[in-house]
Structure 1
Amino acid sequence: MTIMDGSRTLHRTLDLCLRLGEVLLSSGAGAADVTATMRAVSRALGVRQVQVDITFTALAMSVQHGPDEPPVVQLRSVTQRDIDYEDLTRTDQLVRDIVAGRVDLEEARSALARIVSSGHARPRWAATAGWGLMCGGVALQLGAGIEVVAVAILAAVCIDRLQLRMTRRRLPVFYQQIAGGVVATVLAGVCARLAEPWQEVNTSLIVTANIVMLLAGIGFMGALQDGLSGFYVTGSARVAEAMLATAGIIAGVSGGFTLCQVVGLQIPHLTLPRFDLVGVSAAVVGGGIAGAAFAFACYAPMRILVPIWALSATAVLATVGMEEAGFGRPWAVGLAAFLIGLFAYTLGRRFRVPPLVVVVSAIVPLLPGLTIYRGLFLLTEDGGGDVAQGLFAMVTAASVALALAAGVILGEYVAQPVMREARRVEARLAGPRLVGVTRVRRRRRHPEHHHQDRGEAGPGAPAEKH
């Protein structure tokens, strides 16, 4: 191989690693996972001792073969993409094939190009239907009747289509969250007015279900994972993004409350779900539907939907049981999230999907939509509201979000022991692996190659002249 050919191969290898990292990072993978995956791929393709630098919006990769040689550096910006767990799963499998030696450099580049250019596996209207079904599941989980479930589905469909149009016009996510909160609140007020002559409908559950829908795409877990694994810059950026998106939800829902009061629409007081046998059964079934529907809306492979349904339902049942036993809401959801993290790794390996797909989907029914709604309702209620109780509810919602992320990551730490094989890939094991390989099998090499890698003369090689 000539020097020019070697340089060309090096540049193409770094470019492949950067493109793989872009797909993983934009899909919500932690910076530690992305760093370890890029190093594993470069090592498998013969490029060693690489340096990887990751921020929230950029990737950098460099290699220097000797102290007297100039380093080769490549950069790549990370563009925001729709959540597509089908692409993430296929990319994760491609990484495993590269590390196992089943795919060479050119085949890997072609395969990745097909993955990122092939579009979604399902039509866009199917994703919209998935979002609607997810909100219907959350409403059922909270004890809503068939009328409220139907309206929650309709509101989710309207919000998704509205946000899609706003995305095409390149409006920031903050304004999309505000629009979603306003639509959910106003539609709930209209439904309450239309149903007023016949019966009082708990339309507040419509707003709650759609708050969960808006919360589902926020990367709380990735932000905490980056912070715990030492990627403070990326973690801080993700925290800022999550807080800004949540602030958009709060602004939209509170603005919707104010608009309803101005035009004379009244949203009934929130009725908390029952914890009898019927209520718990509905909560378990609805929670399972919400988790599986979210995965479907994010284009997760069909083979993982039933396991996600079962894990989500189990997490809801565990949460209800621990709350009834006297645990506070943050502790209950934190322990349930720990169970999710514990089983997500096994399910991911069994059904050939990254554990991230299972984890993010299964925690959807545990998101603090009900607590956020209660806090906003108390703060904006006629007569000044109960400010102290409202602020306490908002602090509780933040605690629940933190408990969810911390519980899931702790479960992954327990599920994935510190593997000796992973240390051969990474300079250090920076955290639990939600995406990418955790074990690398060394391929046997010819003794001559082994000597050459160590800078020694192999059998039959000429001796070095002194």
Structure 2
Amino acid sequence: MDQIEQPEAAAEWARGGAREVAAAQAREEAEQRAHEEAERAREVHLTMDLCLRIGEMLLSSGAGAADVTATMRSVGDHLGLRGAEVDVTFTALSMSFQRSADEVPTLLVRHVQQRDIDYEDLTAVDHLVRDVLTDHVDLWTARTRMATIVSLGHAFPRWAVTIAWAVMAAAVGVFLGGGAVVSAVAAVAAVLIDRVQLLMSRRRLPFFYLQVAGGAIATLLAAAVAATPIEVDPSLVVTANIILLLAGIGLMGAVQDALTGFYLTSGARLIEAMMSTAGIIAGVGFGISIADGLGVPLGQLVPGKLGSISDLPAVLGGAAVSAAAFSVACYAPRRAVVPVALTTAAAALVSQVLTVGGFGRAAAAGAAAFFIGLVAYAVAGRVKVPPLVVAVPAIVPFLPGLSIYRGLTFLAEGGTVVSQGILALMTAISVAIALASGVILGEYLAQPVKREARRLENRLAGPRLVGPFRAMTRAERRAFKRSEQRPGD
């Protein structure tokens, strides 16, 4: 009996050992699967966080909601989050991803904390996106570079931005036909406005009050100069600084969002633009009241007044310098400043030719914007910046801010000038739509034209004085076509 039971016990012990081994292996496999699942969930979370940070930087710098959505989706698709849902509004960005129908989706939301236009960071983020889409960097390197972009300072010191605003105000004075005195007073007012607004922004005051302070400073300085023997037109001084205050308002982005179907973001940006303009009107009115109380009357302050200027080089030079100074004030890369100035001068020439030819203001502005959009894509590719960095500063001299200011002022006065205010606002709306639609149409046409020109260049590659000295091989041409078809490239 003992000899019979002994083999059975040994077999039972062996089966027990095998079960323990199998159970241990199952535990190890379960732990491995759980670890892999946690790693995949962590990678999904980090990828979504990177996309949201990129979108926040683009949206805060004035990019359209459609561009932000397309960029986030391109980065997400390339890093493995295919089919992710992206939602962009004026104040928040959200991104959700569900790997399968039976899994709970992951949702991340990021709020836009500030809206400072920063073209240096925008350019760095644009280069980062291109490196991600071309597999030059992976997720971990991209996150490190994104953190570096956010934490680093600027190439321009802050006092250089103040000087840039002063140069812009002086150039706008020339553009309006105000002469040397108006340009000098406008430059001094711009310096005071920038320093006061910087101090107020550090106290976390809303942007409306910053605009009130800017309008009041411009009006009071114009009154102070008018009280001296110096001959100056206060209306032109105030007008030049109003353009300065309106330059950073995202009116074109609001119209672009409306044209691309993002009506919620477009409405929010329009309300922000109207509130900023209302702050300027309140500041100018406050300055007039103080000047009258001090016994320094300004006389009839004409909103949006233009001087008598007939010198075309002065108009083109004023537009070019004002756009270049605005790009410097927004920390655009140095290599983009001169191309921005040249593009703006050419667009101003187009606008002046159409104006002389009898076309209306909206038609002239639309043609200039179309030219800017058509050229900005190629210029931006040459200087390696996003087209937004070229297009927005070039649009600044053509913004309908003066019409908005004039219309709201007339509406506030009431009486017989209400109809003039309504007409001015309708003109401003038509000009804004013409500017935004012209730039977008120019961009749409410029992209396929550049692709066709690149293909033609590849076919005609032969004896050349500069550039590649051999034509692309068939394998290289197939790889090039695949790179062109990548999302967001």
How far did residue 27 of structure 1 move? 0.8
Mapped to 1, the partners of 2:308 and 2:352 lie a distance apart of 10
How far did residue 83 of structure 1 move? 1.2
Mapped to 1, the partners of 2:384 and 2:254 lie a distance apart of 25
Q: Which amino acid aligns with 1:241?
A: E
How far did residue 387 of structure 1 move? 4.7
Distance change in 2, residues 1:281/1:349 (3 Å): same
Distance change in 2, residues 1:371/1:189 (3 Å): farther
How far did residue 378 of structure 1 move? 6.6
Say yes or no: does 1:246 pair with 2:280: no
Mapped to 2, the partners of 1:246 and 1:151 lie a distance apart of 22
Distance change in 2, residues 1:140/1:373 (3 Å): farther
User: Please, what TM-score do these two structures have when normalized by structure 1?
Assistant: 0.84
Q: Which amino acid aligns with 2:291?
A: C
Query: Which runs of 5 or more structure 1 residues have no equivalent in the other structure?
Result: 421-437, 443-466
278, 284, 289: which is aligned to 2:316?
Answer: 284
Match of 2:238 in 1: 207
1:189-211: CA deviations, max 9, x gaps? 21111135xxx322322111111
CA contact (8 A) 1:174 1:245 kept: yes
Mapped to 1, the partners of 2:81 and 2:410 lie a distance apart of 59
Give SS of 1:2's match. Answer: helix
Give SS of 1:52's match. Answer: strand
342, 347, 362: which is aligned to 2:394?
Answer: 362
151, 158, 163: which is aligned to 2:197?
Answer: 163
Q: Which amino acid aligns with 1:143?
A: G
1:93-143: CA deviations, max 9, x gaps? 000000000001110000000001102221111111111111111001112
Spell out the pairing of 1:27-42 with structure 2 (5 A cutoff).
Answer: 27-42=61-76
CA contact (8 A) 1:254 1:380 kept: no
254, 266, 271: which is aligned to 1:223?
Answer: 254
Match of 2:24 in 1: none
1:77-98: CA deviations, max 9, x gaps? 1111421100000000000000
Say yes or no: does 1:182 pair with 2:213: no
1:53-76: CA deviations, max 9, x gaps? 111111111111111111111111
Mapped to 1, the partners of 2:156 and 2:429 lie a distance apart of 34
Match of 2:447 in 1: 416
CA contact (8 A) 1:91 1:112 kept: yes
Give SS of 2:81's match. Answer: coil
Give SS of 1:80's match. Answer: coil
The alignment's C-alpha RMSD in Å is: 2.5
CA contact (8 A) 1:288 1:313 kept: yes
Which structure has the greater CA radius of gyration?
2
Spell out the pairing of 1:66-81 with structure 2 (5 A cutoff).
Answer: 66-81=100-115
Say yes or no: does 1:347 pair with 2:373: no
Match of 1:327 in 2: 359
1:348-402: CA deviations, max 9, x gaps? 1111111111111001111235445655777789x98855445433443343233
Distance change in 2, residues 1:408/1:250 (3 Å): farther
1:203-262: CA deviations, max 9, x gaps? 322111111111111111111111111222222211211121122122222333344344
User: Please, what TM-score do these two structures have when normalized by structure 2?
Assistant: 0.80
119, 122, 126: which is aligned to 1:88?
Answer: 122
Mapped to 2, the partners of 1:402 and 1:258 lie a distance apart of 35
Mapped to 2, the partners of 1:195 and 1:377 lie a distance apart of 29
CA contact (8 A) 2:176 2:309 kept: no
Give SS of 2:218's match. Answer: helix
Match of 1:310 in 2: 342
1:313-353: CA deviations, max 9, x gaps? 12222222222211122221121111111111111111111
Query: Which runs of 5 or more structure 2 residues have no equivalent in the other structure?
Result: 1-34, 452-482
Say yes or no: does 1:5 pair with 2:39: yes
Give SS of 1:416's match. Answer: helix
Distance change in 2, residues 1:372/1:2 (3 Å): closer
Mapped to 1, the partners of 2:36 and 2:450 lie a distance apart of 38
Count of matched residue positions in the alignment of Structure 1 and Structure 2: 419
Mapped to 2, the partners of 1:97 and 1:332 lie a distance apart of 39
Match of 1:461 in 2: none
Give SS of 1:61's match. Answer: strand
Q: Which amino acid aligns with 2:373?
A: G
Q: Percent identity?
A: 55
**Higher RCO by CA contacts (8 Å cutoff, separation 6 or greater):** 1
Q: Which amino acid aligns with 1:104?
A: D
Distance change in 2, residues 1:419/1:304 (3 Å): closer
Mapped to 1, the partners of 2:412 and 2:264 lie a distance apart of 36
CA contact (8 A) 2:277 2:404 kept: no
CA contact (8 A) 2:281 2:409 kept: no
Mapped to 2, the partners of 1:375 and 1:40 lie a distance apart of 42
Spell out the pairing of 1:15-26 with structure 2 (5 A cutoff).
Answer: 15-26=49-60
Mapped to 1, the partners of 2:74 and 2:172 lie a distance apart of 40
